[in-house]
Amino acid sequence: MNKLTVVILAAGEGTRMKSFLPKVLHKLNGRPLIRWVLSAVAPLKPGKSYIVVGHDKKQVCSELSKDKVIFVEQKKQLGSGHALKQVERYLKRYKGNILVLCGDVPLIQKQTLSNLVSIHKKQNNAATILSSMIDNPFSYGRIYRLPSGQVRGIIEEKDATDRQREIKEINSGIYCFSSPVIWDALKKIKSDNKKKEYYLTDAISFLSDMGENIGAYPNAKFEEILGINNRADLARAEKIVRGNILKNLMLNGVTIVDPENTYVSSQAKIGTDTVIFPGTVIEGKTSIGKNCRIGPYSYIKDSVLADNVEVVSSYIYSSSISKRVKIGPFSHLRPGTKVKEGAKVGNFSETKNSTIGAGSKVNHLSYIGDSYLGKHVNIGAGTITCNYDGVKKYKTIIGDRSFVGSNVNFVAPVKIGPETLIGAGSTITNNVPKKHMAIARARQVNKVKKKK
């Protein structure tokens, strides 16, 4: 077995979130909090990873069902020390190191954790605390050291003397313990406090009393150990993550006109010389090429945009956009849309599960669903593909270089050959051969108005 085991504490109800969703499943930049923690520990390649679950465990287990983790239930939430104790039965014979983290501390970095584990091993400690130095440590547990520098324990704000409150080194709630000695210390902790809970911090003092080496690694940035207790904390973490993402993009050649009003997923990729205008939201695994202009006020999710694409005030979901395409303003591209090179989808037009061929134009007020448009097709204003009969969806095919007049309805399934002309106001219910003109509307009749 790899001599590192990970335990993530994720059993708490998170009452201050005021939510039916378990706290660790609330999303930060589009990903559940606990997934951020799992991503941070993955590069350490632990032998086994345990997640202690409790409140609404079904939702947490369902979210992580495909991950290589072992779920351990804490039936009663009796504190962090009690939570870790639930894992003891799995690790009775384990001799190695245990990295303990909280599922609601999402910004911890893999390098910080790696350093913590390395120092723990190097100093041969029974416990090593990840700590941080901050100017205003109010409300945090302080790292109490002996004159020699040896850690003696963790003192909570309410129990600290005035002098101890001046200590600026605080506890992060992240630890590296040695097994099996940690289990001996956990047996000694008591619940003689207001909440009647067993605190993991008490184990530090007991380990010290047992003559074990205790260390602390004080190099964690404060933002790394920010715990999410309520939605205000979540918003604070979101701002930190977003700021880091945008800074990295700008340092790599992307122009962000207004970082305070731009939102980009940590999974997104954006090419050099692309300009992102205010009010733009880019979510999921979106990829945007070079020299694009995106926004203002556009929303793009899980889509691929090639180079030199322009998107103005539009929504794009799970779509593929080729080079030199123009989208918007006020376009809605639904999943399955493919817009080929040099094409355009314009004002108040909607597409779904359709291919818009190279050089084709769907300029305004049209709906193109379950369709295939060839190259250089012109779609007139108000064109509708009637693809759904209430039971099934059918396909419309329009050949290369066809011209469709305004206010045309295509009742699918229907196939329009290349180089055809469809008269304005037509409702097309039958196939149209190549190089033909189709007009499907009643003949106009003018009558004299009768006088009243």
Where is pLDDT greater, at 149 or 123? Answer: 123
CA distances in angstroms from 75 to 79, 322, 397, listed in the order given: 11, 53, 59
Cα distance between residue 156 and residue 172, in whole Å: 12
Catalytic status, residue 55: no
CA distance from start to end of the chain: 98
**Stretch 97-115: mean pLDDT:** 97
**Stretch 195-211: mean pLDDT:** 93
43 by Cβ neighbours in 10 Å (0-12 / 13-18 / 19+) ranks as: exposed
Query: In this structure, what token pair is assigned to residue 190?
Result: 């008591």
Catalytic residue among 120, 364, 376, 436: 364
**Stretch 248-265: mean pLDDT:** 98
From the centroid of its chain, how far is CA 38?
13
Amino acid type, 189: I
Helix (H, G, I), strand (E, B) or coil at 144: strand
- Residue 2: the pLDDT is 57
Query: In this structure, what token pair is assigned to residue 256?
Result: 């962000």
- Residue 158: the pLDDT is 86
Cα distance between residue 326 and residue 157, in whole Å: 58
pLDDT of 227 higher than 50: yes
pLDDT tens-place string over residues 401-418: 999 999 999 999 999 999
pLDDT tens-place string over residues 62-76: 999 999 999 999 999
- Residue 440: the pLDDT is 96
Query: In this structure, what token pair is assigned to residue 266?
Result: 């940590």
CA atoms within 13 Å, Cβ hemisphere of 178 = 17
CA distances in angstroms from 338 to 73, 238, 266, 395, listed in the order given: 46, 32, 24, 15
CATH architecture assigned to 4-225: Alpha-Beta Complex (3.90)
**Torsion angle in degrees (nearest 10) through CA of 167, 115, 85, 5:** 180
pLDDT of 150 higher than 90: no
Helix (H, G, I), strand (E, B) or coil at 354: coil
pTM of the model: 0.89
How high is the mean pLDDT of the chain? 96
pLDDT of 3 higher than 90: no
Query: What residues pair up with 256 in beta bridges, in sequence order?
Result: 276
Cα distance between residue 298 and residue 226, in whole Å: 31
- Is the previous residue joined to 259 through a cis bond, with omega within 30 degrees of 0? no
Amino acid type, 258: D
Where is pLDDT greater, at 416 or 193? Answer: 416
Query: In this structure, what token pair is assigned to residue 72?
Result: 């351990």
pLDDT of 356 higher than 70: yes
The domain defined by 231-438 folds into UDP N-Acetylglucosamine Acyltransferase; domain 1 (2.160.10)
Q: Which ranges in the chain are annotated with CATH 3.90.550.10? A: 4-225
pLDDT tens-place string over residues 275-311: 999 999 999 999 999 999 999 999 999 999 999 999 9
Q: Which ranges in the chain are annotated with CATH 2.160.10.10? A: 231-438
pLDDT of 1 higher than 60: no
Do β-strands 421-422 and 304-305 pair in parallel, antiparallel, or remain unpaired? unpaired
Query: What residues pair up with 28 in beta bridges, in sequence order?
Result: 31
pLDDT tens-place string over residues 358-402: 999 999 999 999 999 999 999 999 999 999 999 999 999 999 999
